[in-house]
């Protein structure tokens, strides 16, 4: 990039860098303590980005800490199609809904939340895309004010696993069979974003709620029950 005169960068980081936050919402100034390999890779790259800027202030970098992206493009033509068994909640739910998986396993029902299940900040992928556009605009319109800046991209609202399942059932008309299990090591109890910095400095705010996320996710899944491959063998 530098060799070609491009010294502006938007990096996709993650809320996993906050680990197990002691309080919520998570601000960009919270201590960083990733608790899994994925989060640690994000932390390492964030540190590299800061070092790059310190060594050459001509670099203008924005780090975007995603919370939990959900949904699909409203057209139904673009959506998430994970290889193998999904690692995230909503792709798993959609595969149960179309009959590719028998049930959803809910890990942990004894958290200190309204229904005992973990709480996360789910954000529509379209809002996330808009956040990137806002970050790029900031890099070009306010480059003299940018060094290496960090912004949360979330809705600022926490939603439990069971609330997300209920919203998807309403959007799809499908009943999602559930199996309850114990907590998984490394899972945080409640994580959601403080969004004031992004709202003020990027002029960005999430527009969509969980109803729209589930509606667009089901629109994609119902049109593409076996993903882009269109066949039952979607593991390759």
φ and ψ of 107, to 5 deg = -95, 110
- Band the pLDDT of 231: cuts 50, 70, 90: very low
pLDDT 10s digits, 14-60 = 999 999 999 999 999 999 998 889 999 999 999 999 999 999 999 99
Please check whether residue 59 lies inside any domain of the structure: yes
Listed residue (45, 35, 95, 86) closest to 217, CA to CA: 95
* Alpha helices (runs of H) in 142-209, residue ranges in sequence order: 161-172, 196-197
| Domain, as residue range, for 40 | 2-71+86-223
pLDDT of residue 230: 74
**Rounded Cα distance, 160 and 191, in Å:** 10
- β-pairing, 60-66 vs 148-153, is parallel
Please check whether residue 235 lies inside any domain of the structure: no
**Rounded Cα distance, 62 and 147, in Å:** 8
Please check whether residue 81 lies inside any domain of the structure: no
List 18, 38, 92, 140, catalytic entry: 38
Please check whether residue 11 lies inside any domain of the structure: yes
What residues pair up with 179 in beta bridges, in sequence order? 105
* Structure tokens that stand for 44 in this block: 């390492």
Q: Which of 62-66, 153-157, 158-162, 225-229 has the lowest mean pLDDT?
A: 225-229
**Rounded Cα distance, 105 and 103, in Å:** 6
Please check whether residue 38 lies inside any domain of the structure: yes
- The CA angle 142-70-147, to the nearest 5 degrees, is 20
Please check whether residue 22 lies inside any domain of the structure: yes
The tally of domains found in the chain comes to 1
Kindly list the strands in the beta sheet with 8-14, ordered across the sheet, starting from the edge strand earlier in the chain.
8-14, 60-66, 148-153
Please check whether residue 77 lies inside any domain of the structure: no
Q: Residue with structure tokens 């959803």? A: 104
Residue 132: enclosing H or E segment and its boundaries? helix 125-141
65 or 143, higher pLDDT: 65
Burial label for 9, CB within 10 Å (0-12, 13-18, 19+), is middle
Residue 41 CB coordination number (10 Å)? 15
Angle between helices 210-223 and 161-172 (to 10 degrees): 50
φ and ψ of 38, to 5 deg = -60, -50
In this predicted structure, the answer to whether residue 234 has a pLDDT above a threshold of 70 is: no
129: domain CATH number is 3.40.50.720
Please check whether residue 232 lies inside any domain of the structure: no
38 is catalytic: yes
- pTM summary value: 0.93
pLDDT of residue 40: 96
């Amino acid at each position: 990039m530098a060799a070609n005169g491009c010294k502006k960068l938007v990096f996709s980081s993650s809320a996993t860098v906050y680990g197990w936050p002691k309080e919520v919402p998570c601000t960009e100034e919270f201590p960083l303590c990733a608790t899994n390999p994925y989060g640690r890779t994000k932390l390492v790259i964030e540190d590299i980005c800061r070092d790059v800027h310190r060594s050459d202030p001509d670099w203008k970098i924005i780090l975007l800490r995603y919370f939990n992206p959900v949904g699909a493009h409203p057209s139904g033509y673009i959506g998430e199609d994970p290889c193998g068994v999904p690692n995230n909640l909503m792709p798993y739910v959609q595969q149960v809904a179309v009959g590719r998986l028998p049930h959803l396993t809910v890990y942990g029902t004894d958290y200190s939340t309204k229904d005992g299940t973990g709480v996360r900040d789910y954000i529509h992928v379209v809002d996330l895309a808009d956040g990137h556009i806002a970050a790029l605009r900031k890099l070009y319109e306010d480059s003299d004010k940018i060094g290496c800046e960090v912004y949360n991209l979330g809705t600022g609202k926490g939603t439990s696993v069971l609330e997300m399942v209920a919203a998807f059932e309403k959007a799809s008309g499908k009943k999602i069979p559930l199996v309850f299990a114990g907590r998984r090591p490394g899972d945080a109890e409640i994580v959601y974003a403080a969004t004031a910095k992004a709202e003020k400095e990027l002029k960005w705010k999430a527009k969509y709620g969980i109803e729209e996320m589930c509606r667009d996710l089901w629109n994609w899944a119902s049109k593409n029950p076996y993903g882009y491959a269109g066949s039952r063998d979607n593991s390759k």
